[in-house]
Structure 1
Amino acid sequence: MSEILNRLPEFIGNHPFLSLGFIGVLAALIASEVARVTRGYKALTPGGLTQLINRNNALLIDVSSIQDYEQGHVAGARHVAMSQFDPENKDLAKARELPVAIYCKNGQTSATAAKRLKKAGFTDVYTLDGGLRSWTEAQLPLAKGRNNSK
């Protein structure tokens, strides 16, 4: 190990761009992990979401477009359009202490909704990592139509 440390300055001197690239990638990785840990909500796999629904009776919210929701959604999910998503809504505020799982088509919009819930004081917030796409890739069933939309 000490030989590696002794030769490190020589390596850096001979390969400055490679060294700077490594430092840049390392900094980006650390920043990404710090952001993930401090964001306040947890990302779940499709299996993790299934367990949360079955064990903790989580409130499941789909913030996809109504067309995407009608084409297929997780059974039991309630549709709330992102344009109408309000964490202060009286119906949603009742679930402040319950686990709330949010998903969308690909996972981007649900992250924004999860941040808004955490900011509004919700304590147990989750997102489906990869959105509904990851759910279907895991070959889990979808419900169709508007049966649970709000």
Structure 2
Amino acid sequence: MERVIEFLINHYLLSLAFVVVTYLLIQDLFETALKKYNTISPLLAVAKMNEMKTVVVDVRDQTEFASGHIQEAIHLPLDKFDNELKKIEAYKKDPVLVICQNGTRAISAGKLLTKAGFEQVFVISGGMESWQTDYKLPIKKSKKTFA
């Protein structure tokens, strides 16, 4: 036991780094186990859209949405998400696919949707960047331009 204490004292930065990394790994494990939404690739999202009635929610801002979005996607910007949530209340039992530019905002929206009582929430991994660049899937561009 004395050698362990001696090691910790002599290598306090290494010991601190070990504690921080361990804490972050445990936190990630708990977050993954407790999340109520699923992550889905763009290819699997297309398959899901083809096989059943799904709702696509795009949480990007107006200019990003206008530059190109998934056909029939409902635009609910994340900064107005709570106020606009009533637009999709009727789809609580249907699969809801959430997408943003690169996948980070969609995670926040996925958490909000599950908290609001949506039963089947899927976050599209990689967002529109992956949709367009990696998988070369089709998009629809809005005719309006916004400043």
Cα deviation, 1:7-56, whole Å, max 9, x if unaligned, reads x959x567554344234223212211211221211121212212221223
* 1:122 counterpart (107, 110, 118): 118
Give 1:80 shift. Answer: 2.2
Whole-angstrom distance in 2 between the partners of 1:80 and 1:88? 8
1:145 maps to which residue?
142
Runs of 4+ with >4 A deviation = 12-16
Structure 2 length normalisation: TM-score? Answer: 0.77
1:5 maps to which residue?
none
**Long gaps (5+) in structure 1:** 1-7
Whole-angstrom distance in 2 between the partners of 1:75 and 1:56? 15
1:79 maps to which residue?
75
1:100 maps to which residue?
96
Question: Structure 1 residues 62, 34: CA separation in 2 closer, same or farther (over 3 Å shift)?
Answer: same
Give 1:97 shift. Answer: 0.5
Q: What is the identity, as a one-letter code, of the residue corresponding to 1:92?
A: I
Whole-angstrom distance in 2 between the partners of 1:29 and 1:104? 26
Cα deviation, 1:48-81, whole Å, max 9, x if unaligned, reads 2122212232100111112111111122312223
Structure 1 length normalisation: TM-score? Answer: 0.76
**Long gaps (5+) in structure 2:** none
* Deviation larger for 59-68 or 104-113: 104-113
Cα deviation, 1:66-112, whole Å, max 9, x if unaligned, reads 211111112231222334434751x4121110000111112222222
Contact kept, 8 Å, 2:103 with 2:124, in 1: the verdict is yes
Report 1:9-88 matches (<5 A).
17-85=13-81, 86=83
User: What SS does structure 2 have at the residue aligned with 1:94?
Assistant: helix
